[in-house]
Amino acid sequence: MNKVAMIGAGSWGTALALLLARTGCPVALWDRDEDHIGQLARERENKRYQPGHPFPETLTVTGSLAEAVAGAECVVMVVPSHGYRAVYREVLPLLREGALVVSAVKGIEIDSGMTMTQIMRAEGDDSKHLHLGVLSGPSFAAEVADRQPTAVTVAFADPQVAETVQHLFSTDYFRVYTSGDVIGLEISAAMKNVIAIAAGICDGLNYGLNTRAALITRGLAEIARLGVAMGGEPQTFAGLGGLGDLVLTCTGNLSRNRTVGLKLGSGLTLEQALSEMQMVAEGVKTTQSCYALAADLQVEMPILEQVYQVLYHNKRCEDAVIELFQRDLKQEAEALSR
């Protein structure tokens, strides 16, 4: 591939840019923050988000979207979900015909309830014949930058395009699988952050491994219910982008969303928890969008509902757990399908 544009120079965008540039692929890394881009250009390293990883010669940095996207066969969007639409509107007219656009963002837009590929289709220009897909899976950015063995999934409607992106990103430490279930992968990616906040709350309350196992299992059931209601395929939720990413985010110390939950469970308010964090925890905003989406689709999601009440209605964490356990008793098969 002659060039890849990486739109977003945060932790994940930088890790993916390093991944590709280390293979010899030319990568243009863009960010709106001029001071940040200036620092990257001078130091040839992202000391804010990925310290200790010098940029290869094939990695360039720019504050100009036009310069970043010009000539790029593949554009990877790695900006927060709440700003995705605005940035994509700027990117769209710059895209070449037939370009591959990969969302590496794990969230859902609050106002519309749309995933990132849905936003791109809504904003899209049919005359460009763009290929829109998603990359997701259990992948902490710091470990990818450190070349830790990692496996993820890319999903596109066109299997040949999926294979092209698969080969683009695959290395001897980064294994990529393909899927045709774009929406299922996106719902998994977004919702696992909400469940990770719940997992962090339980850890902050000093609950044990029994609690965590129950939460992950029941959280997966909720993710699958919402995903299938959105048109996703059931098997997706048992894969890397579903169960794999959920386990990682609910148990890993590098999880921003679990960290938010830990702080809430230990007694901090949401405002206090977020003020202590440098990077965005997508699950906080995603809780709002998924809560509204579940209501619109009439999907029962009790863990999501309790996280929403804790985040936005100051419900005590202990009370949220009690309410979950006081719900009507059910057969497990029934609980998995409703």
The residue from 3, 47, 106, 192 that is catalytic is 192
Question: Tokens representing 326?
Answer: 């006081």
Let me know: does 120 contact 147? Beta carbons within 8 Å: no
How many Å apart are CA 126 and CA 49, to the nearest integer?
A: 36
Contacts of 39 (CB under 8 A, 6+ apart): 47, 48
Dist CA 145 CA 140 (whole Å): 9
Which ranges in the chain belong to alpha helices (H)? 11-21, 34-43, 65-69, 84-91, 116-123, 141-145, 159-169, 182-204, 209-229, 245-251, 256-265, 270-275, 282-297, 302-313, 317-325, 332-337
> Active site includes 192?
yes
- The upper half-sphere exposure of residue 9, i.e. CA atoms within 13 Å in the direction of its Cβ, equals 30
Packed helices 282-297 and 182-204: angle between N→C axes, nearest 10 degrees: 120
Contacts of 126 (CB under 8 A, 6+ apart): none
* DSSP letter (8 states) at residue 83: G
Those residues whose C-beta lies under 8 Å from the C-beta of residue 165, and which sit 6 or more positions away, are 74, 100, 102, 133, 135, 154, 156, 176
Q: What is the DSSP string of 28-59?
A: EEE-S-HHHHHHHHHHSSBTTTBTT-PPPTTE
Give me the active site residues, please. 192
